Structure 1
Amino acid sequence: MSESASRGIAGAVDVVVIGAGHSGLAMSYLLGQRSFRHVVLERGEVANSWRTERWDSLHLLTPNWMARLPDYPYQGDDPDGYMSAGQIADFISDYATYTSAPVLTRTAVNRVEQSSHGFRVETQNGGWLCRAVVLATGAFNKPVVPRLAEAIPAAIEQLSAHSYRNPGQLAPGCWWLGRQRQGCNWRRKSSSAAGLSRSRWANTSGCRASIEVAIFNGGCLQPVCLTSASKTQTTPTAPEEYRRRSLSAHQTGPRSTSMSCRGKALKSSDA
Protein backbone atom coordinates (compact mmCIF):
# COMPACT_ATOMS: atom_id res chain seq x y z
CA MET A 1 0.00 0.00 0.00
CA SER A 2 1.32 3.44 -0.89
CA GLU A 3 2.30 6.03 1.74
CA SER A 4 -0.47 8.30 0.45
CA ALA A 5 -3.15 5.67 0.91
CA SER A 6 -1.96 4.36 4.26
CA ARG A 7 -1.39 7.61 6.16
CA GLY A 8 -4.09 10.03 5.01
CA ILE A 9 -2.24 12.28 2.58
CA ALA A 10 -4.09 15.44 1.58
CA GLY A 11 -1.93 15.99 -1.50
CA ALA A 12 1.48 15.87 -3.12
CA VAL A 13 3.24 18.93 -4.57
CA ASP A 14 6.73 20.14 -5.36
CA VAL A 15 6.83 22.75 -2.57
CA VAL A 16 4.82 23.46 0.58
CA VAL A 17 4.93 27.07 1.78
CA ILE A 18 3.98 27.54 5.44
CA GLY A 19 2.50 30.96 6.11
CA ALA A 20 0.29 33.23 3.99
CA GLY A 21 1.79 36.56 4.92
CA HIS A 22 3.70 38.80 2.53
CA SER A 23 6.76 36.51 2.43
CA GLY A 24 4.79 33.33 1.82
CA LEU A 25 2.69 34.92 -0.90
CA ALA A 26 5.74 36.42 -2.61
CA MET A 27 7.34 32.97 -2.62
CA SER A 28 4.12 31.49 -4.00
CA TYR A 29 4.13 33.98 -6.87
CA LEU A 30 7.74 33.19 -7.77
CA LEU A 31 7.15 29.44 -7.58
CA GLY A 32 4.17 29.84 -9.88
CA GLN A 33 6.25 31.83 -12.35
CA ARG A 34 8.54 28.80 -12.58
CA SER A 35 5.66 26.28 -12.82
CA PHE A 36 6.37 24.58 -9.51
CA ARG A 37 3.33 22.83 -8.09
CA HIS A 38 2.85 24.18 -4.58
CA VAL A 39 0.41 24.95 -1.80
CA VAL A 40 0.42 27.68 0.88
CA LEU A 41 -0.72 26.51 4.33
CA GLU A 42 -2.01 29.15 6.75
CA ARG A 43 -3.10 28.57 10.37
CA GLY A 44 -5.57 31.49 10.24
CA GLU A 45 -6.49 33.79 7.39
CA VAL A 46 -4.29 35.54 4.83
CA ALA A 47 -2.21 38.20 6.60
CA ASN A 48 -3.35 36.65 9.87
CA SER A 49 -0.73 38.24 12.13
CA TRP A 50 -1.49 41.73 10.81
CA ARG A 51 -5.20 41.21 11.48
CA THR A 52 -5.13 39.48 14.85
CA GLU A 53 -1.76 40.10 16.56
CA ARG A 54 -1.15 43.84 16.20
CA TRP A 55 -2.30 46.76 18.32
CA ASP A 56 -5.11 48.88 16.90
CA SER A 57 -3.13 52.03 16.09
CA LEU A 58 -0.05 50.37 14.58
CA HIS A 59 1.26 51.97 11.37
CA LEU A 60 4.23 51.20 9.16
CA LEU A 61 7.50 52.93 9.98
CA THR A 62 8.21 53.40 6.26
CA PRO A 63 6.08 55.33 3.74
CA ASN A 64 3.59 53.58 1.50
CA TRP A 65 5.61 54.07 -1.68
CA MET A 66 8.14 51.59 -0.30
CA ALA A 67 5.49 48.86 0.12
CA ARG A 68 5.74 46.46 -2.77
CA LEU A 69 5.53 42.76 -3.52
CA PRO A 70 6.69 40.95 -6.70
CA ASP A 71 4.81 42.50 -9.65
CA TYR A 72 2.60 44.43 -7.20
CA PRO A 73 3.64 47.95 -6.11
CA TYR A 74 1.59 50.19 -3.82
CA GLN A 75 -1.45 51.37 -5.77
CA GLY A 76 -3.18 53.73 -3.33
CA ASP A 77 -3.57 57.50 -3.42
CA ASP A 78 -1.32 58.30 -0.44
CA PRO A 79 2.24 57.25 -1.37
CA ASP A 80 3.80 59.41 1.34
CA GLY A 81 1.44 58.18 4.06
CA TYR A 82 1.90 55.26 6.44
CA MET A 83 -0.47 52.31 6.23
CA SER A 84 -2.23 51.05 9.33
CA ALA A 85 -2.13 47.38 10.31
CA GLY A 86 -5.56 46.88 8.76
CA GLN A 87 -4.52 48.51 5.52
CA ILE A 88 -1.39 46.36 5.40
CA ALA A 89 -3.53 43.26 5.88
CA ASP A 90 -5.79 44.37 3.01
CA PHE A 91 -2.74 45.06 0.82
CA ILE A 92 -1.49 41.52 1.42
CA SER A 93 -4.94 39.97 0.92
CA ASP A 94 -5.38 41.84 -2.35
CA TYR A 95 -2.04 40.45 -3.47
CA ALA A 96 -3.20 36.90 -2.72
CA THR A 97 -6.23 37.53 -4.92
CA TYR A 98 -4.13 39.17 -7.64
CA THR A 99 -1.78 36.18 -7.84
CA SER A 100 -4.48 33.52 -7.34
CA ALA A 101 -2.25 32.01 -4.66
CA PRO A 102 -3.18 28.41 -3.74
CA VAL A 103 -3.77 29.20 -0.06
CA LEU A 104 -5.43 26.79 2.37
CA THR A 105 -6.60 28.85 5.36
CA ARG A 106 -7.41 27.46 8.81
CA THR A 107 -4.80 24.78 8.20
CA ALA A 108 -2.31 24.67 11.04
CA VAL A 109 0.93 22.76 10.52
CA ASN A 110 1.69 20.43 13.42
CA ARG A 111 4.86 18.73 12.23
CA VAL A 112 7.34 18.52 9.37
CA GLU A 113 9.26 15.29 8.89
CA GLN A 114 11.29 13.56 6.25
CA SER A 115 9.58 11.03 4.02
CA SER A 116 10.36 8.88 1.01
CA HIS A 117 9.24 11.78 -1.20
CA GLY A 118 11.36 14.37 0.60
CA PHE A 119 9.15 15.83 3.32
CA ARG A 120 5.78 15.22 4.89
CA VAL A 121 3.98 18.26 6.30
CA GLU A 122 1.35 17.20 8.83
CA THR A 123 -1.78 19.30 9.37
CA GLN A 124 -5.10 18.70 11.13
CA ASN A 125 -6.56 18.02 7.67
CA GLY A 126 -4.00 15.42 6.65
CA GLY A 127 -0.43 15.40 5.41
CA TRP A 128 1.21 16.95 2.35
CA LEU A 129 4.10 15.30 0.54
CA CYS A 130 6.63 17.58 -1.11
CA ARG A 131 10.23 17.88 -2.25
CA ALA A 132 10.87 21.18 -0.44
CA VAL A 133 9.39 23.21 2.42
CA VAL A 134 9.51 27.00 2.78
CA LEU A 135 8.99 28.41 6.28
CA ALA A 136 7.40 31.85 5.92
CA THR A 137 5.92 32.07 9.39
CA GLY A 138 7.43 35.40 10.47
CA ALA A 139 9.83 36.19 13.27
CA PHE A 140 7.71 37.76 16.03
CA ASN A 141 4.76 35.44 16.65
CA LYS A 142 5.79 34.49 20.18
CA PRO A 143 6.53 37.21 22.75
CA VAL A 144 9.82 37.00 24.62
CA VAL A 145 9.00 37.71 28.26
CA PRO A 146 11.97 38.36 30.60
CA ARG A 147 12.31 36.19 33.71
CA LEU A 148 11.71 39.29 35.79
CA ALA A 149 8.00 38.82 35.01
CA GLU A 150 7.90 35.76 37.25
CA ALA A 151 8.63 37.94 40.29
CA ILE A 152 5.87 40.46 39.60
CA PRO A 153 2.77 39.99 41.82
CA ALA A 154 -0.17 38.32 40.09
CA ALA A 155 -2.36 41.35 40.89
CA ILE A 156 -0.32 43.43 38.42
CA GLU A 157 -1.49 42.82 34.87
CA GLN A 158 1.23 42.19 32.30
CA LEU A 159 0.82 42.66 28.56
CA SER A 160 3.20 41.99 25.69
CA ALA A 161 3.19 43.46 22.19
CA HIS A 162 1.35 40.31 21.15
CA SER A 163 -1.65 40.91 23.43
CA TYR A 164 -1.82 44.73 23.68
CA ARG A 165 -4.55 46.31 21.53
CA ASN A 166 -5.40 49.77 22.92
CA PRO A 167 -5.27 51.86 26.13
CA GLY A 168 -8.73 50.69 27.15
CA GLN A 169 -7.14 47.46 28.37
CA LEU A 170 -4.95 49.23 30.90
CA ALA A 171 -5.58 50.16 34.51
CA PRO A 172 -4.25 53.52 35.80
CA GLY A 173 -0.51 53.52 36.36
CA CYS A 174 1.64 52.05 33.60
CA TRP A 175 5.28 51.10 33.35
CA TRP A 176 6.72 50.34 29.92
CA LEU A 177 9.69 47.98 30.00
CA GLY A 178 11.85 48.27 26.91
CA ARG A 179 12.30 51.11 24.48
CA GLN A 180 12.70 49.34 21.18
CA ARG A 181 10.13 49.84 18.46
CA GLN A 182 7.16 48.23 20.22
CA GLY A 183 7.91 49.80 23.61
CA CYS A 184 8.53 53.22 22.16
CA ASN A 185 5.42 53.04 20.00
CA TRP A 186 3.19 52.06 22.90
CA ARG A 187 4.66 54.59 25.29
CA ARG A 188 4.13 57.49 22.99
CA LYS A 189 0.48 56.58 22.63
CA SER A 190 0.04 56.22 26.38
CA SER A 191 1.58 59.49 27.32
CA SER A 192 0.23 61.92 24.78
CA ALA A 193 -3.23 61.17 25.99
CA ALA A 194 -2.70 62.87 29.26
CA GLY A 195 -0.15 65.39 28.12
CA LEU A 196 1.53 64.03 31.18
CA SER A 197 4.47 61.96 30.28
CA ARG A 198 7.38 60.82 32.34
CA SER A 199 9.76 59.05 30.10
CA ARG A 200 13.21 58.44 28.89
CA TRP A 201 12.84 59.41 25.24
CA ALA A 202 14.34 57.05 22.74
CA ASN A 203 15.13 56.86 19.05
CA THR A 204 13.24 58.27 16.06
CA SER A 205 10.54 55.60 16.35
CA GLY A 206 9.39 57.95 19.07
CA CYS A 207 7.66 56.13 21.95
CA ARG A 208 4.33 56.21 20.17
CA ALA A 209 2.32 53.77 22.25
CA SER A 210 2.79 55.19 25.68
CA ILE A 211 1.57 58.56 24.49
CA GLU A 212 -1.57 56.80 23.30
CA VAL A 213 -2.30 55.58 26.80
CA ALA A 214 -1.81 59.01 28.30
CA ILE A 215 -4.11 60.79 25.86
CA PHE A 216 -6.76 58.09 26.19
CA ASN A 217 -10.21 59.70 26.13
CA GLY A 218 -8.56 63.11 25.89
CA GLY A 219 -7.92 63.45 29.60
CA CYS A 220 -5.09 63.09 32.09
CA LEU A 221 -5.21 59.37 32.57
CA GLN A 222 -1.96 58.68 34.36
CA PRO A 223 1.76 59.25 34.23
CA VAL A 224 3.57 56.63 32.21
CA CYS A 225 7.16 55.63 32.82
CA LEU A 226 9.42 53.96 30.29
CA THR A 227 12.62 52.20 31.27
CA SER A 228 15.27 50.50 29.19
CA ALA A 229 18.78 49.16 29.21
CA SER A 230 21.77 51.21 28.11
CA LYS A 231 21.79 53.27 24.94
CA THR A 232 23.97 50.67 23.25
CA GLN A 233 21.17 48.08 23.47
CA THR A 234 18.47 49.92 21.55
CA THR A 235 17.25 49.47 18.02
CA PRO A 236 19.54 51.16 15.45
CA THR A 237 18.26 54.51 14.26
CA ALA A 238 16.53 54.31 10.89
CA PRO A 239 17.76 56.49 8.00
CA GLU A 240 15.93 59.75 7.40
CA GLU A 241 15.93 59.41 3.61
CA TYR A 242 16.06 56.68 0.97
CA ARG A 243 16.76 57.57 -2.66
CA ARG A 244 16.16 61.23 -1.81
CA ARG A 245 12.69 60.56 -0.40
CA SER A 246 11.81 61.12 3.24
CA LEU A 247 11.19 58.17 5.55
CA SER A 248 10.48 60.26 8.63
CA ALA A 249 7.63 62.37 10.03
CA HIS A 250 5.59 59.28 10.87
CA GLN A 251 2.33 59.78 12.78
CA THR A 252 0.28 57.05 14.46
CA GLY A 253 -2.92 59.05 14.11
CA PRO A 254 -4.15 61.87 11.86
CA ARG A 255 -1.27 63.96 10.52
CA SER A 256 -2.71 67.10 12.12
CA THR A 257 -2.36 65.55 15.58
CA SER A 258 -0.11 67.55 17.86
CA MET A 259 1.45 66.18 21.01
CA SER A 260 2.64 67.97 24.10
CA CYS A 261 4.21 66.53 27.20
CA ARG A 262 4.47 67.98 30.68
CA GLY A 263 6.81 66.85 33.39
CA LYS A 264 10.43 65.83 33.16
CA ALA A 265 12.24 63.16 31.22
CA LEU A 266 13.49 60.50 33.60
CA LYS A 267 17.10 59.51 33.74
CA SER A 268 17.88 55.89 34.42
CA SER A 269 18.72 56.82 38.01
CA ASP A 270 15.25 58.38 38.43
CA ALA A 271 13.55 55.19 37.28
Structure 2
Amino acid sequence: MSIVIITGASRGLGAATAVACAARGMGVILTYNNNPEAAAGVVTRITEAGGRAVALQLDVADASSFPAFGLSVQTALQETWNRTSFDYLVNNAGYGLYHPIDTVTEEEFDGLFNVHLKGPFFLTQTLLPLIADGGQVVNMTSATTRVATAGVAPYASFKGGLEVLTRYMAKEFGDRRIRANSIAPGAIRTELGGGLTSNFEAQLAAQTALGRVGEPDEIGSVIAGLLSDDSRWINAQSIEVAGGYNI
Protein backbone atom coordinates (compact mmCIF):
# COMPACT_ATOMS: atom_id res chain seq x y z
CA MET A 1 0.00 0.00 0.00
CA SER A 2 1.30 3.45 -0.93
CA ILE A 3 1.12 6.11 1.77
CA VAL A 4 0.58 9.84 1.22
CA ILE A 5 1.01 12.78 3.58
CA ILE A 6 -1.30 15.72 2.81
CA THR A 7 -0.87 18.97 4.71
CA GLY A 8 -3.86 21.12 5.54
CA ALA A 9 -6.31 18.32 4.86
CA SER A 10 -8.99 18.95 7.45
CA ARG A 11 -11.14 20.73 4.85
CA GLY A 12 -11.26 22.07 1.29
CA LEU A 13 -8.81 20.85 -1.32
CA GLY A 14 -6.75 18.91 1.20
CA ALA A 15 -9.73 16.95 2.49
CA ALA A 16 -10.91 16.24 -1.06
CA THR A 17 -7.42 15.02 -1.94
CA ALA A 18 -7.27 12.79 1.13
CA VAL A 19 -10.59 11.16 0.24
CA ALA A 20 -9.61 10.73 -3.42
CA CYS A 21 -6.26 9.16 -2.51
CA ALA A 22 -7.89 6.78 -0.04
CA ALA A 23 -10.40 5.77 -2.71
CA ARG A 24 -7.44 4.71 -4.85
CA GLY A 25 -6.18 2.47 -2.07
CA MET A 26 -3.56 4.75 -0.51
CA GLY A 27 -2.98 5.08 3.20
CA VAL A 28 -3.35 8.70 4.27
CA ILE A 29 -1.63 10.84 6.89
CA LEU A 30 -3.45 14.15 6.91
CA THR A 31 -2.45 17.21 8.89
CA TYR A 32 -4.46 19.96 10.50
CA ASN A 33 -3.45 23.15 12.26
CA ASN A 34 -6.18 24.08 14.73
CA ASN A 35 -9.29 22.06 13.84
CA PRO A 36 -8.86 18.49 15.12
CA GLU A 37 -12.61 17.85 14.92
CA ALA A 38 -12.68 18.54 11.17
CA ALA A 39 -9.60 16.36 10.67
CA ALA A 40 -11.22 13.56 12.65
CA GLY A 41 -14.25 13.88 10.39
CA VAL A 42 -12.09 13.30 7.31
CA VAL A 43 -10.45 10.29 8.97
CA THR A 44 -13.87 8.87 9.78
CA ARG A 45 -15.09 9.40 6.24
CA ILE A 46 -12.06 7.49 4.93
CA THR A 47 -12.22 4.63 7.43
CA GLU A 48 -15.97 4.15 6.99
CA ALA A 49 -15.29 3.67 3.26
CA GLY A 50 -12.77 0.95 4.08
CA GLY A 51 -9.57 3.04 3.99
CA ARG A 52 -6.96 3.82 6.59
CA ALA A 53 -6.01 7.31 7.72
CA VAL A 54 -4.29 9.13 10.58
CA ALA A 55 -4.51 12.83 11.48
CA LEU A 56 -1.50 14.69 12.90
CA GLN A 57 -1.24 18.30 14.07
CA LEU A 58 1.13 20.55 12.11
CA ASP A 59 1.63 24.30 11.85
CA VAL A 60 3.28 24.74 8.46
CA ALA A 61 4.22 28.30 9.41
CA ASP A 62 6.47 27.04 12.23
CA ALA A 63 9.51 25.37 10.68
CA SER A 64 11.00 24.77 14.14
CA SER A 65 8.22 22.21 14.75
CA PHE A 66 9.11 20.09 11.72
CA PRO A 67 11.66 17.75 13.37
CA ALA A 68 9.10 16.80 16.04
CA PHE A 69 6.49 16.33 13.32
CA GLY A 70 8.88 14.02 11.50
CA LEU A 71 9.09 11.86 14.62
CA SER A 72 5.29 11.78 14.81
CA VAL A 73 5.19 10.64 11.20
CA GLN A 74 7.64 7.83 11.93
CA THR A 75 5.49 6.68 14.84
CA ALA A 76 2.30 6.77 12.76
CA LEU A 77 3.94 4.86 9.92
CA GLN A 78 5.20 2.13 12.23
CA GLU A 79 2.05 1.77 14.31
CA THR A 80 -0.50 2.00 11.49
CA TRP A 81 1.26 0.48 8.47
CA ASN A 82 4.35 -1.23 9.92
CA ARG A 83 6.51 0.88 7.63
CA THR A 84 9.47 3.21 8.07
CA SER A 85 8.83 5.30 4.95
CA PHE A 86 6.00 6.88 2.99
CA ASP A 87 5.58 7.47 -0.74
CA TYR A 88 4.01 10.83 -1.50
CA LEU A 89 4.01 14.31 0.03
CA VAL A 90 1.33 16.83 -0.95
CA ASN A 91 2.19 20.34 0.23
CA ASN A 92 -1.32 21.75 0.28
CA ALA A 93 -1.73 23.78 3.49
CA GLY A 94 -2.40 27.45 2.88
CA TYR A 95 -4.66 30.43 3.29
CA GLY A 96 -5.69 33.44 1.26
CA LEU A 97 -5.31 37.16 1.87
CA TYR A 98 -6.95 39.69 -0.43
CA HIS A 99 -5.31 43.08 0.03
CA PRO A 100 -3.87 45.44 -2.59
CA ILE A 101 -0.11 45.89 -2.52
CA ASP A 102 -0.24 49.33 -0.91
CA THR A 103 -2.07 47.99 2.15
CA VAL A 104 -0.16 44.73 2.83
CA THR A 105 1.72 44.79 6.13
CA GLU A 106 5.08 43.16 6.74
CA GLU A 107 3.42 40.78 9.19
CA GLU A 108 0.87 39.70 6.57
CA PHE A 109 3.63 39.30 3.99
CA ASP A 110 5.75 37.17 6.33
CA GLY A 111 2.75 35.02 7.29
CA LEU A 112 2.00 34.15 3.67
CA PHE A 113 5.68 33.54 2.94
CA ASN A 114 6.05 31.16 5.88
CA VAL A 115 3.08 29.03 4.88
CA HIS A 116 3.31 29.05 1.09
CA LEU A 117 7.05 28.92 0.38
CA LYS A 118 9.26 28.58 3.44
CA GLY A 119 7.04 25.91 4.98
CA PRO A 120 6.94 23.59 1.95
CA PHE A 121 10.69 24.05 1.44
CA PHE A 122 11.73 23.03 4.94
CA LEU A 123 8.98 20.47 5.51
CA THR A 124 10.04 18.65 2.34
CA GLN A 125 13.66 18.88 3.47
CA THR A 126 12.73 17.40 6.86
CA LEU A 127 10.64 14.56 5.46
CA LEU A 128 12.85 13.74 2.46
CA PRO A 129 14.75 10.94 4.26
CA LEU A 130 11.39 9.25 4.92
CA ILE A 131 10.14 9.43 1.32
CA ALA A 132 10.61 6.10 -0.43
CA ASP A 133 12.67 6.02 -3.61
CA GLY A 134 10.35 6.34 -6.58
CA GLY A 135 7.95 8.57 -4.63
CA GLN A 136 6.63 12.01 -5.45
CA VAL A 137 6.17 15.53 -4.10
CA VAL A 138 3.16 17.55 -5.24
CA ASN A 139 3.04 21.25 -4.43
CA MET A 140 -0.23 23.17 -4.52
CA THR A 141 0.22 26.45 -6.39
CA SER A 142 -2.38 28.64 -8.10
CA ALA A 143 -3.62 29.92 -11.44
CA THR A 144 -2.89 33.40 -10.03
CA THR A 145 0.76 32.80 -10.93
CA ARG A 146 -0.31 32.99 -14.59
CA VAL A 147 -3.19 35.48 -14.42
CA ALA A 148 -2.54 38.59 -12.35
CA THR A 149 -5.46 39.14 -9.98
CA ALA A 150 -5.55 42.37 -8.01
CA GLY A 151 -5.28 41.87 -4.28
CA VAL A 152 -3.29 38.64 -4.13
CA ALA A 153 0.24 39.81 -5.00
CA PRO A 154 2.11 38.25 -2.05
CA TYR A 155 0.14 35.00 -2.23
CA ALA A 156 0.66 34.65 -5.98
CA SER A 157 4.33 35.61 -5.74
CA PHE A 158 5.04 32.86 -3.22
CA LYS A 159 3.02 30.36 -5.22
CA GLY A 160 5.15 31.35 -8.22
CA GLY A 161 8.24 30.70 -6.13
CA LEU A 162 6.82 27.30 -5.22
CA GLU A 163 6.45 26.47 -8.91
CA VAL A 164 10.15 27.21 -9.42
CA LEU A 165 11.04 25.22 -6.31
CA THR A 166 9.08 22.28 -7.73
CA ARG A 167 11.36 22.12 -10.77
CA TYR A 168 14.43 22.24 -8.56
CA MET A 169 13.02 19.43 -6.42
CA ALA A 170 12.54 17.34 -9.55
CA LYS A 171 16.13 18.05 -10.58
CA GLU A 172 17.70 17.35 -7.21
CA PHE A 173 15.57 14.37 -6.19
CA GLY A 174 15.83 12.65 -9.57
CA ASP A 175 18.67 10.37 -8.53
CA ARG A 176 16.22 8.72 -6.14
CA ARG A 177 13.51 8.62 -8.85
CA ILE A 178 11.38 10.99 -6.76
CA ARG A 179 9.19 13.09 -9.02
CA ALA A 180 8.03 16.62 -8.23
CA ASN A 181 5.06 18.38 -9.82
CA SER A 182 2.76 21.25 -8.95
CA ILE A 183 -0.99 21.61 -9.32
CA ALA A 184 -2.36 25.11 -10.02
CA PRO A 185 -6.08 25.30 -9.28
CA GLY A 186 -8.23 28.07 -10.67
CA ALA A 187 -11.25 29.38 -8.78
CA ILE A 188 -12.57 26.62 -6.52
CA ARG A 189 -15.57 26.69 -4.20
CA THR A 190 -13.76 26.39 -0.85
CA GLU A 191 -13.43 28.39 2.36
CA LEU A 192 -10.03 29.81 1.34
CA GLY A 193 -9.93 33.52 2.09
CA GLY A 194 -13.44 33.38 3.50
CA GLY A 195 -14.98 31.72 0.44
CA LEU A 196 -16.44 33.20 -2.73
CA THR A 197 -19.22 35.76 -2.67
CA SER A 198 -21.98 35.15 -5.21
CA ASN A 199 -20.95 38.19 -7.27
CA PHE A 200 -17.26 37.23 -7.29
CA GLU A 201 -18.11 33.64 -8.18
CA ALA A 202 -20.23 34.83 -11.11
CA GLN A 203 -17.35 37.01 -12.29
CA LEU A 204 -14.88 34.13 -12.12
CA ALA A 205 -17.33 31.77 -13.85
CA ALA A 206 -17.68 34.26 -16.71
CA GLN A 207 -13.88 34.21 -17.16
CA THR A 208 -13.79 30.41 -17.33
CA ALA A 209 -14.35 28.52 -20.56
CA LEU A 210 -16.52 25.89 -18.88
CA GLY A 211 -18.68 28.62 -17.36
CA ARG A 212 -18.39 27.84 -13.65
CA VAL A 213 -15.95 27.61 -10.76
CA GLY A 214 -14.51 24.27 -9.75
CA GLU A 215 -15.30 21.92 -6.88
CA PRO A 216 -12.69 20.55 -4.44
CA ASP A 217 -13.07 16.95 -5.61
CA GLU A 218 -12.12 18.05 -9.14
CA ILE A 219 -8.70 18.98 -7.77
CA GLY A 220 -8.40 16.03 -5.40
CA SER A 221 -9.03 13.49 -8.16
CA VAL A 222 -6.34 15.06 -10.36
CA ILE A 223 -3.78 14.87 -7.56
CA ALA A 224 -4.69 11.27 -6.78
CA GLY A 225 -4.28 10.42 -10.47
CA LEU A 226 -0.95 12.23 -10.64
CA LEU A 227 0.32 10.16 -7.73
CA SER A 228 -0.63 6.93 -9.44
CA ASP A 229 1.69 4.88 -11.61
CA ASP A 230 -0.39 5.94 -14.63
CA SER A 231 1.39 9.33 -14.41
CA ARG A 232 4.89 7.96 -13.78
CA TRP A 233 6.46 9.91 -16.68
CA ILE A 234 5.11 13.30 -15.62
CA ASN A 235 7.81 15.22 -13.79
CA ALA A 236 8.82 18.85 -13.12
CA GLN A 237 5.49 20.15 -14.45
CA SER A 238 3.01 22.77 -13.32
CA ILE A 239 -0.46 21.52 -14.22
CA GLU A 240 -3.26 24.09 -14.20
CA VAL A 241 -6.63 22.63 -13.26
CA ALA A 242 -8.96 25.54 -13.85
CA GLY A 243 -11.61 24.68 -16.42
CA GLY A 244 -10.04 27.06 -18.96
CA TYR A 245 -9.59 30.17 -16.84
CA ASN A 246 -8.75 33.39 -18.70
CA ILE A 247 -7.71 31.78 -21.97
**Under a length normalisation based on structure 1, what TM-score does the superposition of the two structures give?**
0.27
Q: Which has the higher contact order (CA 8 A, sep 6+)?
A: 2
Rg: which structure is higher? 1
Higher helix residue share: 2
